[in-house]
């Protein structure tokens, strides 16, 4: 299955962040306490550090979990908090990404266990692998995009870490050893030894981090590259990764520099890219200033590459990925403000409608959401669903994001419009504004209560529920507001309503659906289901072989067994079947693939019975939705 890291590495250089520990210490964290525990005790400091690196231009940030394995946490009396510390770390990194809006990857950082394996130590390899797996599974449950196993000094421990990662997941693994100034690891291995031992273990990238500064580390990584070439590197060969310290002695122009400046790291980034390194970042001593300097250097090389399209053969320019920027939308793509919406026309014409959900960002920057919408448009998605502060957590206005997607990406949206936060007057005012800017597909929802979210003491409004909202929309389509006052002319909203076929009280769910359809709903979107029998059982209770209006069946691709259990036990409105949970348990490390296959099987089973699909990819992994949809080609 395609992963964003693989795509970005194929396109050019991925810029990682710098040192978390350096910044946390600068923020007042004492050296004799666990930096990983700051995820719980000082989450605002950790989150601010992530945001600083993202704002400096990082394409990838690492979780604050370098020492968050059971063995290392034992020294601080925190072993029993291993799961909590790792999951919270992922959440902090993901939220920082959402707040900044930068379409960066979140990597789960996995450091050494502080145990020495044979032949030099007595640590049991199986126990070490188990400790790695415990941490890695927690990171996966949190929703990391990849794993970085770093600062490992001997190959035996690295092999156990990679083995644990491969047992737990098929996510990309970056493996970085630490080397001394003599170019060997603590265990005495050369760069060539590292390549020979790790190349066949399924790592996406391998290289070096920490240890020394750029001047000594870059030749070490270059030696790995030469060894890969000697072994006949093909398209599946690992990319090279290099993340040196800033605080080790370095010779520059005959002078000894003990602290590498940001400018020096900018030069390092350029040289590393030209040497073929595809994952570049910093380790101890590096700061957002260093990352910003590297970003500027890599962008400059990218500009040179564009300018060198007609460069004479024989000269070179480094291939560096350029930051995604919103493109201007051609006038011909503009969605008309009048007449039936495209979704209405497609459903009326018998088109099998494909819609995918995107959550608005938690901050000011919508770049990642827009990038996701572009990817989905490229694979042929008909509409983007935009949720309205799901789980009652503060996010950017769904209406604003709908507008941006329609006018910058050129794909129609379905806004999830809730009555939770709006009075009867306020919701009608906002609906009129939505209509004016072309956002006219409305999923009428009541909304999650504030008690579920970050503001449990916030007051909900609920002047009307979802049935009442459908009635309001129908009145607007008739040319008047709920009080009977004219709005000048009829609106042209396409009205969707939601149902949950997994509810225990299906009779009540069927009653509410009848009320929504009588009030004027044009089509139905379901909560996610995981078995075709669930939908058919609801139809039996409803008393019809199929509904009289189009149905978009909700499908949520599962990521892992832990993900399945979390959704089933902790997320309102999502209920898995026992069979689905069993399949995910049996899938083990192939959880993502099994989740996609389950989604595809369900889609094929129900396609003859419904008029569309509504996909809900978790963790913003829109490439998973694209993979599910391949079955329709």
Domain boundary (295, 313, 348) is at 295
Query: What is the average pLDDT score of the chain?
Result: 89
Same domain as 347, residue 275: no
Is the domain of 265 the same as that of 367? Answer: no
More confident residue, 335 or 199: 199
Least confident of 122-136, 163-177, 318-332, 440-454: 318-332
Q: What average pLDDT does range 439-457 have in this prediction?
A: 76
Length of the chain in terms of residues written: 633
* 300 within a domain of the structure (yes/no): no
Closest alpha carbon to 278 in 15, 60, 102: 15
Residue-level pLDDT at 1: 57
Residues 496 and 586 in one domain: yes
Could you report the per-residue pLDDT of 163-185, keeping only the tens digit for each? 999 999 999 999 999 998 889 99
Q: Do 87 and 148 share a domain, yes or no?
A: yes
Question: Three-class SS of residue 350?
Answer: coil
Does some domain include residue 314? no
Confirm or deny that 284 is annotated as ligand binding: yes
Same domain, 549 and 426: yes
Task: Say if 5 falls within a structural domain.
Answer: no
In terms of residue numbers, what domain contains 195?
16-295
What is the per-residue DSSP string for 484-539?
S-B-SS----EEEEEE-TT-S-HHHHHHHHHHHHHHT--EEEEEE-S-HHHHHHHH
Whether 428 and 576 map to the same domain: the answer is yes
Mean pLDDT of 37-65: 97
**Consecutive H or E run containing 385:** strand 383-386
Shared domain for 262 and 365, answered yes or no, is: no
Residue 188 is assigned to a structural domain of this protein: yes
Instruction: List, for residues 221-274, the tens digit of each pLDDT value.
Output: 999 999 999 987 556 789 999 999 986 544 445 443 436 799 999 999 999 999
Give per-residue pLDDT as tens, 570-622: 887 789 999 999 999 999 889 999 999 999 999 999 999 999 999 999 988 99
Give 3's pLDDT tier (boundaries 50, 70, 90).
confident
Residue 7 lies in a domain: no
Residue 247 belongs to a domain: yes
CA–CA dist 624, 168 (Å, integer): 18
Same domain, 251 and 102: yes
* For helices 424-436 and 466-477, angle between their N-to-C axes, nearest 10 degrees: 50
Residue ending a domain, choose from 237, 268, 295: 295
| Residue located via tokens 């962008």 | 299
Whether residue 368 is found in the same domain as residue 242: no
Both 226 and 373 in one domain: the answer is: no
* pLDDT at 460 > cutoff 90: no
283 annotated as belonging to a binding site for a ligand: yes
**For residue 231, what is the domain's CATH number?**
3.20.20.330
> How many C-beta neighbours within 10 Å does residue 239 have?
24
Q: How far apart are CA 548 and CA 201, in angstroms?
A: 54
Residue 315 lies in a domain: no
Tell me, what CATH number does 552's domain have? Answer: 3.20.20.220
Angstrom distance (rounded) from CA 556 to CA 613 = 10
pLDDT digits 0-9 by tens, 220-236: 999 999 999 998 755 67
The residue whose two tokens read 């930068």 is: 102
pLDDT of 157 strictly over 90: yes
Question: Across residues 21-33, what is the average pLDDT?
Answer: 90
User: Quick one: 32 and 81 in the same domain?
Assistant: yes
Number of structural domains in the chain = 2
Q: Are residues 400 and 502 in the same domain?
A: yes
Confidence (pLDDT) at 256: 36
296 burial level (CB within 10 Å; 0-12, 13-18, 19+): middle
Task: Check the annotation: does 344 bind a ligand.
Answer: no
Residue 317: inside a domain: no
Position 154 scores a pLDDT of 92
């Amino acid at each position: 299955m395609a992963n964003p890291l693989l795509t970005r590495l194929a396109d050019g250089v991925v810029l990682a962040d710098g040192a978390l520990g350096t910044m946390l210490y600068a923020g007042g964290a004492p050296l004799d306490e666990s930096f990983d525990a700051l995820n719980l005790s000082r989450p605002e400091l950790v989150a601010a550090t992530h945001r600083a690196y993202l704002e400096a231009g990082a394409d990838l940030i690492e979780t604050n979990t370098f020492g968050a394995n059971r063995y290392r946490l034992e020294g601080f009396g925190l072993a029993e908090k291993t799961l909590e510390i790792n999951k919270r770390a992922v959440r902090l990194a993901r939220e920082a990404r959402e707040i900044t809006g930068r379409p960066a990857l979140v990597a789960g950082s996995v450091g050494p266990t502080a145990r020495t394996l044979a032949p030099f130590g007595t640590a049991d390899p199986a126990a070490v692998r188990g400790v790695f797996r415990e941490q890695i599974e927690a990171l996966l449950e949190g929703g990391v995009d990849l794993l970085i196993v770093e600062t490992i000094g001997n190959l035996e421990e690295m092999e156990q870490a990679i083995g644990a990662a491969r047992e737990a997941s098929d996510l990309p693994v970056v493996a970085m050893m630490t080397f001394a100034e003599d170019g060997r690891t603590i265990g005495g291995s050369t760069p060539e030894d590292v390549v020979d031992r790790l190349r066949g273990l399924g790592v996406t990238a391998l290289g070096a981090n920490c240890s020394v500064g750029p001047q000594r580390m870059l030749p070490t990584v270059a030696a790995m590259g030469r060894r890969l070439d000697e072994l006949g590197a093909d398209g599946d060969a690992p990319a090279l990764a290099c993340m040196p310290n800033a605080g080790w002695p370095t010779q520059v122009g005959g002078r000894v520099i003990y602290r590498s400046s940001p400018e020096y790291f900018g030069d390092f980034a350029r040289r590393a890219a030209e040497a073929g390194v595809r994952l570049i970042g910093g380790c101890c001593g590096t700061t957002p200033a260093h990352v910003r300097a590297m970003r500027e250097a890599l962008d400059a090389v990218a500009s040179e590459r564009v300018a060198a399209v007609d460069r004479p053969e024989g000269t070179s320019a480094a291939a560096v990925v350029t930051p995604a920027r919103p493109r201007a939308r051609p006038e011909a793509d503009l969605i008309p403000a009048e007449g039936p919406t495209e979704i209405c026309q497609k459903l009326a014409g018998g088109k099998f409608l494909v819609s995918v959900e995107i959550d608005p960002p938690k901050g000011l920057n919508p770049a990642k959401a827009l990038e996701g919408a572009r990817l989905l448009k490229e694979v042929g998605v008909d509409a983007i669903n935009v949720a309205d502060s799901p789980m009652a957590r503060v996010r950017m206005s769904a209406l604003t994001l709908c507008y941006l997607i329609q006018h910058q990406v050129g794909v129609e949206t379905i806004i999830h419009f809730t009555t939770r936060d709006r009075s009867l007057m306020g919701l009608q005012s906002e609906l009129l504004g939505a209509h004016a800017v072309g956002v006219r597909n409305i999923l009428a929802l009541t909304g999650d209560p504030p008690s579920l979210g970050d503001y449990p003491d916030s007051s909900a409004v609920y002047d009307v529920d979802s049935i009442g909202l459908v009635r309001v929309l129908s009145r607007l389509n008739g040319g008047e507001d709920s009080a009977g006052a004219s709005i000048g002319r009829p609106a042209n909203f396409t009205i969707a309503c939601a149902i949950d076929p997994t509810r225990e009280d299906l009779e009540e769910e069927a009653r509410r659906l009848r009320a929504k359809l009588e009030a004027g709903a044009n089509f139905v979107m379901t909560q996610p289901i995981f078995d075709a029998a669930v939908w058919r059982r609801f139809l039996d209770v409803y008393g019809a072989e199929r509904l009289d209006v189009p149905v978009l069946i909700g499908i949520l691709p599962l990521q892992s067994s832990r993900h399945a259990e979390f959704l089933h036990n902790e997320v309102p409105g999502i209920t898995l079947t026992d069979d689905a949970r069993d399949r995910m348990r049996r899938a083990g490390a192939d959880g993502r693939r099994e989740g996609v296959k389950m989604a595809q099987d369900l889609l094929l089973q129900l396609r003859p019975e419904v008029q569309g699909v509504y996909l809900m990819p978790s963790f913003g992994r829109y490439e998973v939705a694209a993979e599910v949809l391949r079955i329709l080609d």
